[in-house]
Structure 1
């Protein structure tokens, strides 16, 4: 039985989540359908543009993504502290980028005078929108539904385009986060649709590499900040250069179709996270296969199961690989 989304997402456990949406019956989202010869490559841009637009609206950051031929991978970071700093007007202006809102919220944003009862309704609406703007389910809904409608219009058909429920995995620690991001960024290499990680179109890695050449990190993506000096940091707890080097070496091994040993110069980031080179290669290429709906080291998963009163532990294969 599928677990309710409310039980899968808990910010007390982790703000990081891996989300996957797949097309129904493995239909083509993007790329070229070999059976018909029809190309849907242009839809990749639809998904990427919508995803990065939503990142600018929601209090949710995009850490990694890969738009594949019939599915989509995203690693998200929920930032509830960000939405708490937004004023009522800020919340309404953001929500109006997605939906019309109500007559009263529209009037409020325009600065029109409203009676007290209308102001109370505006505040109630803003409170509801504030919750939605930091909710993964709403983020995925606002991503998938417009793409489905647009694709159905183009295909001149009706019905479901995506599977009814997107998959989500809680990434409980840094090792799980790093492994999942690498798996997502290297998906085109593993699927043999790209030769090198930096040439993988419509991925977060491609966007990060392009920006790095200009000397900056892309504003649309959650930044790399290195090992944080403080308990709270606004960014990924890895060095961008280390991540690039790690993916480059891992991508070479995947492309050559063999299991090798990662070069010694790439070991520091894995050593800090206590992941062996052999385990890294396995988890970076088979993350979904080896993991369940929560991913992390054994102590993190034990704490998660205890706090959520779960007797049955998730798949332990990934736990051993992250050790």
Structure 2
């Protein structure tokens, strides 16, 4: 079967991961994290990309991004972020060479069914890695900004989060409860495999929807519907 190139669609959310070259450390100090987030905040507007969630880990980043009408913006954003971080690290350490893997991984995400699940997956990364016991204790993810009832001054509000309630207090409370629900093994497997293989994070209806748009049928294995915030 021929390899399908990366699928990027306008105005759809995409789960994106970029790793350090040979899994090397890319964030060695707090200033490294701060600079990356400052660049993300600046460049997202320059390239017309919405940022719904993020988590910066020691040797990789998870981002939940939605390009606008121009799909090129997503790739341009990732390229610019990587270039800035590389220049900074090379200057700091008096070195040359690449900091990141040349190709980031991405998966188009089904908004109504999997967007919140992907946000939770991203923001729970430090907990799964045993770096912290609570998502709210980790300073380099979007979780604190997401549940801040005063809102964020730069993070975009995704449709899934907006649908959780009538006001910021209700939405924040529901999302906190959602974060505490146990994530099923099927949900974890689907998100991971979709990202690793460049497939879709969604159900069979989403596969049909994307096939209609692109003319390409991107099948995946192990599909299952995650619980929503309103399900017990």
Structure 1 length as normaliser, TM-score?
A: 0.60
CA distance in 2, matches of 1:60, 1:49: 15
CA contact 1:19–1:167 (8 Å) conserved in 2: yes
Partner of 2:150: 216
Label 1:227 to 1:42 Cα distance change in 2 as closer, same or farther (>3 A).
closer
1:296 aligns with 2:228: no
Structure label with greater radius of gyration: 1
Partner of 2:162: 225
Provide the secondary structure at the position in 2 that maps to 1:20: strand
Label 1:58 to 1:156 Cα distance change in 2 as closer, same or farther (>3 A).
same
The C-alpha deviation readout for 1:44-102, integer Å capped at 9, x for no partner, is 1121221122234332211000000100000012333xxxxxxxxxxxxxxxxxxxxxx
1:315 aligns with 2:225: no
Partner of 2:66: 77
Partner of 2:230: none
CA contact 2:164–2:174 (8 Å) conserved in 1: no
CA distance in 2, matches of 1:194, 1:284: 22
The C-alpha deviation readout for 1:118-141, integer Å capped at 9, x for no partner, is xxxxxxxxxxxxx58x71011111
Show the 5 A alignment for 1:263-274: none
CA contact 1:283–1:290 (8 Å) conserved in 2: no
CA distance in 1, matches of 2:215, 2:17: 26
CA contact 1:188–1:194 (8 Å) conserved in 2: yes
CA contact 2:17–2:62 (8 Å) conserved in 1: yes
Unaligned 5+ segments in structure 2 are 228-232
CA distance in 2, matches of 1:204, 1:284: 21
Structure 1 residue 158 displacement after superposition: 1.2
Structure 1 residue 286 displacement after superposition: 4.4
User: What is the root-mean-square deviation in Å for CA atoms of aligned residues?
Assistant: 2.7
Partner of 2:43: 54
Provide the secondary structure at the position in 1 that maps to 2:117: helix
CA contact 1:182–1:284 (8 Å) conserved in 2: no
Provide the secondary structure at the position in 2 that maps to 1:135: helix
Provide the secondary structure at the position in 1 that maps to 2:184: helix
Partner of 2:131: 193
Partner of 1:107: none
CA distance in 2, matches of 1:307, 1:77: 17
CA contact 1:176–1:295 (8 Å) conserved in 2: yes
Structure 1 residue 207 displacement after superposition: 2.6
Unaligned 5+ segments in structure 1 are 32-39, 81-130, 230-237, 251-261, 263-279
Label 1:153 to 1:243 Cα distance change in 2 as closer, same or farther (>3 A).
same
Structure 1 residue 28 displacement after superposition: 0.4
CA contact 1:58–1:139 (8 Å) conserved in 2: yes
CA distance in 1, matches of 2:94, 2:45: 31
Structure 2 length as normaliser, TM-score?
A: 0.81
Structure 1 residue 307 displacement after superposition: 4.0
CA distance in 2, matches of 1:25, 1:163: 7
1:244 aligns with 2:176: yes
CA distance in 2, matches of 1:240, 1:9: 30
Provide the secondary structure at the position in 2 that maps to 1:163: coil
> Which one has more relative contact order, counting CA pairs under 8 Å at least 6 apart?
2
CA distance in 2, matches of 1:202, 1:168: 20
CA distance in 1, matches of 2:92, 2:3: 32
1:24 aligns with 2:13: no
CA distance in 1, matches of 2:137, 2:64: 20
